[in-house]
Structure 1
Amino acid sequence: MLEYVLTCCSTADLPNKYFEKINVPFVCFHYNIDGQEYPDDLGKTMSFEEFYSKISTGAMPTTSQVNVGQYISFFEPFLKDGKDILHISFSSGLSGSYNSACIAKNELLLKYPDRKILLVDSLGASSGYGLLIDSAAYMRDNGSTIEDIYTWAEENKLNIHHWFFSTDLTHYKRGGRISSTSAIIGNLLNICPLMNMSYDGKLIPRMKFRGKKHVIAEIVKMMEEHAKDGVDYSGKCFISNSACYEDARKVADLIENKFKHLNGPVMINSVGTVIGSHTGPGTVALFFFGDKRVD
């Protein structure tokens, strides 16, 4: 029987069934749309199709992070059951949720001094964060201790690359990630920015391209340049998309054609409702292990 549990946040954007398969419980962020609050429960309460349809017709959702009380309610049953906890959190560069987890940890350890709660700030998001969770679960299932996985995650989390592009800049403007002028001009001229996650877990615009064809070619090129062992990369590759599966499939097809040694087919997931509240529809994100993110 395992003496510890591996947990994460819903913003890792893996399917519910996949979390069940790898035995990783998650704590839900929340979002508010059309005046009603919902858990970010990976499409169970509201399907991704309905969520993105609402945005496309004008809804502007807002989000709320996991607070201290919610973390305590999530963690405590595991501690009561005599288990230690390794929680890998959503990026502190995008949310205060990691800080809330730290406060909850300190409060709970006063009540359960014989237990361990180890926290990792993933500095990642969406299925890139999910790729870190997936790897940690594989280590757990192959006998690694809680300390081994914690050390590995801290040493390797910046080796997970996150590359994003979007064909609709409206919600990036709303979130302050690009200026209003850039968004207006970009939408008019069909400009698709290529963004990635920085070393401190923030989403940074890197390059701009005219049209999807060019940005799709460039995102695959970024994997060629940065993936471990280049085109001989033998790890897993995840993609997430916000209501633009065909674009995600085009990227996946190019990758599967170019990278012949992948550990399984490219997994295409949905951008969840919390991250999707900030990206809106039209975003494709690519995730893989590579060289360390340094800027």
Structure 2
Amino acid sequence: MSYKITIDSCGELLNEWKEDERVESVPLTLMVGDESIIDDQTFDQKSFLKKVAECPECPKSACPSPECYMKAYENEAEHIYAVTLSSELSGSYNSAVLGKNLYLEEHPEKKIHVFNSKSASGGESLIAMKIIECENKGLSFEEVISTVDEYIEEMSTFFVLENLETLRKNGRLSRVKALVASALKIKPVMGSTPEGNICQLDQARGMNKAIVKMVNHIGEKGINIQSKTVAITHCNCPERARMLEEAIRERLNPANIVVMDTAGVSSMYANDGGVIVAV
């Protein structure tokens, strides 16, 4: 059976997907001050991070419209899937579902399903990988949905931030707390709730100690890691990502690890130096 996977641009694309017509990214729009930036293949991470650092306002994002998703669903594939970032963090999921419902009114014969990743970044990439695995095994459309839904329920996402400015600008951290945390080099260890929201799991003085604590939390919360792929995404810090990869491989021994640089939306959330792990 032929298939098509649409991922909103918060999910990173593996290199081989960029040339694969079966995988498509639907871009969100990023706003830095008065400037709008489309999160597509033209995204310039270095320029974006510089603009965010210089802008006193918090960067924002706007989800793809239902029409954008409808256009993505317009193809000859027999099974069509969409993967969006957590519905707790963005309207992308609701937009994808509305686009599906509108498209099915005119094409009721099509098989389309939208997955709420309850995650972001590499978590969405892992879900797309799972869909491809299921399709390659020849599972039916309904079996793919059931298997991937179970996979999502077992997933967890973690991240550590080098820079707390985005949290300060969007009101999640007061200016005083941000200044104190920066002065003491305190790094929060963050994670996802079962519903797909964000929570603080821990904190540590210094990035290396925070990464060690994050790996410990991954070991405690991760389910069947030895048989799974771990996704590491980093924002402009490849050496830190390699260190994290080595720590996870040595401590948790997963079946596979993929490492990717963040695209636009994930760069906005993680900020310069941030690292994200999904498993």
| Pair in the same fold by TM > 0.5 | yes
Percent identity (aligned): 24
Quote the residue 2:269 is aligned against: 278
The answer as to 2:250 corresponding to 1:251 is no
Distance 1:205 1:285 in 2: 14
- The correspondence of residues 96-245 of structure 1 with structure 2, limited to 5 A, is 96-229=91-224, 233-245=226-238
Give the Å deviation of 1:252: 0.9
> Once the two structures are superposed, what CA deviation does each residue of 1:64-110 show, in whole Å capped at 9, x if it has no partner?
111122222222x22xx363422222210100111112222221111
Distance 1:88-1:216 versus aligned 2 partners, 3 A rule: same
Determine if contact 2:6/2:25 at 8 Å carries over to the other structure: yes
Structure 1 unaligned spans of 5+:
289-295
Quote the residue 2:51 is aligned against: 54
Distance 1:254 1:96 in 2: 35
SS at match of 2:220: helix
Quote the residue 1:12 is aligned against: 11
Distance 1:180-1:28 versus aligned 2 partners, 3 A rule: same
Q: Structure 1 counterpart of 2:273, which letter? A: G
The answer as to 2:67 corresponding to 1:45 is no
Distance 1:146 1:52 in 2: 40
Quote the residue 1:25 is aligned against: 24
Distance 1:241 1:149 in 2: 29
Comparing 32-41 and 200-209, the one that deviates more = 32-41
TM, length-normalised to structure 2: 0.90
Give the Å deviation of 1:16: 4.9
Determine if contact 1:52/1:242 at 8 Å carries over to the other structure: no
Aligned residues: 278
Distance 1:55-1:246 versus aligned 2 partners, 3 A rule: farther
> Once the two structures are superposed, what CA deviation does each residue of 1:190-219 show, in whole Å capped at 9, x if it has no partner?
110000011111111121211112111111
Distance 1:145-1:181 versus aligned 2 partners, 3 A rule: farther
SS at match of 1:11: coil
SS at match of 2:156: strand
Q: Structure 1 counterpart of 2:198, which letter? A: L
Distance 1:52 1:115 in 2: 41
Q: Structure 1 counterpart of 2:60, which letter? A: T
Distance 1:92-1:216 versus aligned 2 partners, 3 A rule: same
Determine if contact 2:232/2:275 at 8 Å carries over to the other structure: yes
Distance 1:19 1:179 in 2: 40
SS at match of 2:240: helix
> Once the two structures are superposed, what CA deviation does each residue of 1:241-292 show, in whole Å capped at 9, x if it has no partner?
11222222211111222334x323x32212221232233212111121xxxx
Determine if contact 1:56/1:281 at 8 Å carries over to the other structure: no
The answer as to 2:255 corresponding to 1:263 is yes
Quote the residue 1:66 is aligned against: 64
Determine if contact 1:242/1:284 at 8 Å carries over to the other structure: yes
Determine if contact 2:202/2:213 at 8 Å carries over to the other structure: no
Distance 1:128-1:143 versus aligned 2 partners, 3 A rule: same
Distance 1:234 1:154 in 2: 17
Distance 1:14-1:175 versus aligned 2 partners, 3 A rule: farther
Determine if contact 2:45/2:267 at 8 Å carries over to the other structure: no
> Once the two structures are superposed, what CA deviation does each residue of 1:136-186 show, in whole Å capped at 9, x if it has no partner?
111112212221111112222121111111121110222343343332221
Distance 1:113 1:102 in 2: 14
Provide the aligned C-alpha RMSD in A. 2.3
Determine if contact 2:153/2:194 at 8 Å carries over to the other structure: yes
Distance 1:180-1:234 versus aligned 2 partners, 3 A rule: same
Distance 1:28 1:145 in 2: 29
Determine if contact 2:162/2:271 at 8 Å carries over to the other structure: no
Determine if contact 2:187/2:205 at 8 Å carries over to the other structure: yes
Quote the residue 2:81 is aligned against: 86
